[in-house]
């Protein structure tokens, strides 16, 4: 699967594939060349998942209620790492 095909995956599908690759690599029953290819695919899937999470986070708004009861929204602020 190429990186372009990865973009068509949902977050859940990408995570499932990533989990499968990790299990396969952890099993130790994979040839070295196949392991390297699987690792490269896993890196691409990880990046895709991170990208989709970041995009979702940017869409989240924080709902605030003022003391007077007025409702407003603001960008969701994430804690600094």
| Predicted confidence (pLDDT) per residue in 6-51, tens digit | 878 999 999 999 999 999 999 999 999 999 999 999 999 999 999 9
55 pLDDT higher than 50: yes
Placement of tokens 């977050």 in the chain:
11
1 pLDDT higher than 50: no
- Given a contact cutoff of 8 angstroms between Cβ atoms, the answer to whether 21 and 42 are in contact is yes
Placement of tokens 């899937």 in the chain:
45
Nearest alpha carbon to residue 41 among 9, 5, 1: 1
- Given a contact cutoff of 8 angstroms between Cβ atoms, the answer to whether 48 and 7 are in contact is yes
Pick from 17-21, 54-58, 64-68, 72-76: least confident = 72-76
Domain ranges of the chain: 3-75
- Given a contact cutoff of 8 angstroms between Cβ atoms, the answer to whether 39 and 22 are in contact is no
């Amino acid at each position: 699967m190429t990186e372009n095909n990865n973009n068509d995956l949902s977050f859940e599908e990408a995570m499932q594939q990533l989990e499968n690759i990790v299990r396969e690599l952890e099993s130790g029953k994979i040839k070295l060349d196949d392991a390297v290819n699987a690792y490269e695919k896993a890196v691409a899937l990880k990046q895709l998942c991170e990208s989709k999470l970041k995009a979702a986070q940017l869409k989240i708004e924080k709902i605030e209620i003022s003391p007077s009861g007025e409702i407003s929204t603001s960008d969701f602020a994430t804690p600094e790492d």
